[in-house]
Amino acid sequence: MDDDVITLLNSGLPADAVLTDPDVVASYAHDMASFSAAGVPVAVVLPRTVEQVQHVMRTATALRVPVVPQGARTGLSGGANAVTGCIVLSLARMDRILEIDPVDRIAVVEPGVVNAVLSRAVGEVGLYYPPDPSSWEQCTIGGNIGTGAGGLCCVKYGVTAEYVLGLDVVLADGRLLTTGRRTAKGVAGYDLTRLFVGSEGTLGVVVRAVVALRPAPPVQLALVAEFPSAAAACRAVCSIMESGHVPSLLELMDGTTIRAVNAMANMGLPESTEALLLAAFDTADPAADLAALGALCSAAGATEVVPAEDAAESELLLQARRLSLTALETLSTATMIDDVCVPRGKLGAMLDGVAEIAEKFDLTIGVCAHAGDGNTHPVVCFDAQDADESRRARESFDEIMALGLALGGTITGEHGVGLLKKDWLARELGPTGVELQRGVKAVFDPLGLLNPGKLF
């Protein structure tokens, strides 16, 4: 069967598009998630055109072979992991920006375009593509669409789903579907575009996207506020949001994260501080907005508030937050990065609960968060070679998700479900929700060939 698959793939693809060397194929088997199994693919295919993607899907349908679509494999939930006997369909070579339209404020892109590349390209014509995941220098627009990615700016500008206007999607049987629009408004029929955003490659393969752009905002200014406890920082977040402020960024780092960043990057952050809140404004008068926000932080218990003087100093402050996940990874041989989002008013309870879980399981768990969204990223640090510690890490991860649901939250704010959280998705959706979502999957992929085993 493997030979049949490779022969049929090669019949409609360039010679360099089908990779079969075992070592090369193995390198495409998984994303960046821990505790997520990965199988052995038959081949990796790197198409450059829509027609080549259609050929792959027709081959898969004819031979009943599963297909796992991939972007840059920066995901954290196992959503891009191969299953044994599958075709890995990497969209990395479909990386052209096809159009940037300043009048309609849209860009048309292929799925392999890197987020940062698009952001810089539209910036050259005075426009702005807001979604900015932490991996924006590596992750692709197709992967962002697949997981419904977020980023640091979500508190003001929203997530990927709010910027995807239309899609071209190759379906499981090779047909090409066009959804959505490129107009400013449009409500014709069911919103299939939104359905594909966050579907993690289980409904179709995105081969082109129309994304909305905004005018480039003014340069943002930032401040950092130090707090004696995470609870005090979370009180400040609630006060800021209740007051009507709209910061372009509102991020939180707990004491464990602060100390990890210091150890890795020598940034001189105050190690006695138990929480840092980083805020920024990109308004016409950011200094005035920062002053008002700083006053709220002081009233909530901040021990010190330090505003940046200029853009360069702002970027230096924000660099600490951008290094958070990398720094926490240096504390152990492995990490599990959770992605629980709770109502903003429950953010303090979430952080206190995570601290209790860390103590219960005798583990280091650092938390960085998109505080303005209530989206927390508890990072469980553990020794992957220690079976008992690995077990405790997995159990703590599950307790963190249970805590998030108990607080009225969701198991994923932006990383997706993949393999890592599919049991928890069933708990969040309930039996009726799972039944209906399986029904949607069956309509688009009746043979179950697209990214099998993910989500459900």
pLDDT tens digit string along 408-421? 999 999 999 999 99
Number of C-alpha atoms within 13 angstroms, CB side, residue 1?
A: 12
pLDDT beyond 70 at 226: yes
Please report which confidence band the pLDDT of residue 270 belongs to, taking 50, 70 and 90 as the band edges: confident
pTM of the model: 0.95
| Beta pairing partners, 222 | 280
Q: Within 108-247, where are the H helices?
A: 115-123, 141-147, 154-157, 192-196, 230-242
For residue 14, give the 3-state DSSP assignment.
Answer: coil
pLDDT beyond 90 at 13: yes
pLDDT beyond 70 at 392: yes
Protein fold of 218-327: Alpha-Beta Plaits (3.30.70)
pLDDT beyond 90 at 322: no
What pLDDT was estimated at residue 267?
84
Mean pLDDT confidence for 306-317:
91
Q: CA of 221: how far to CAs of 104, 286, 302, in Å?
A: 29, 6, 19
Mean pLDDT confidence for 288-301:
97
Q: Give percent of the chain with pLDDT exceeding 90.
A: 92
Mean pLDDT confidence for 235-255:
97
Q: Dmax over Cα atoms in the chain, in whole Å?
A: 69
Protein fold of 332-418: Alpha-Beta Plaits (3.30.70)
- With beta carbons less than 8 A apart as the criterion, state whether 402 and 360 touch: no
The rounded distance, in Å, linking the Cα atoms of 221 and 312 is 9
What pLDDT was estimated at residue 209?
98
| Beta pairing partners, 90 | 70
Chain mean pLDDT for the chain: 96
Structure tokens at 447: 């043979």
The rounded distance, in Å, linking the Cα atoms of 260 and 232 is 21
- List, by residue range, all CATH 3.30.465.10 domains of the chain: 97-215
The rounded distance, in Å, linking the Cα atoms of 189 and 180 is 9
Sign of the Cα pseudo-torsion (249, 164, 110, 441, in order): positive
- List, by residue range, all CATH 3.30.70.2740 domains of the chain: 332-418
Determine phi and psi for 100, rounding to 5 degrees: -130, 120
Q: What CATH class has 97-215?
A: alpha beta
* Nearest CA-CA partner of 193 in 173, 165, 213: 165
Architecture of the 2-90 domain: 2-Layer Sandwich (3.30)
- List, by residue range, all CATH 3.30.43.10 domains of the chain: 2-90
pLDDT beyond 70 at 1: no
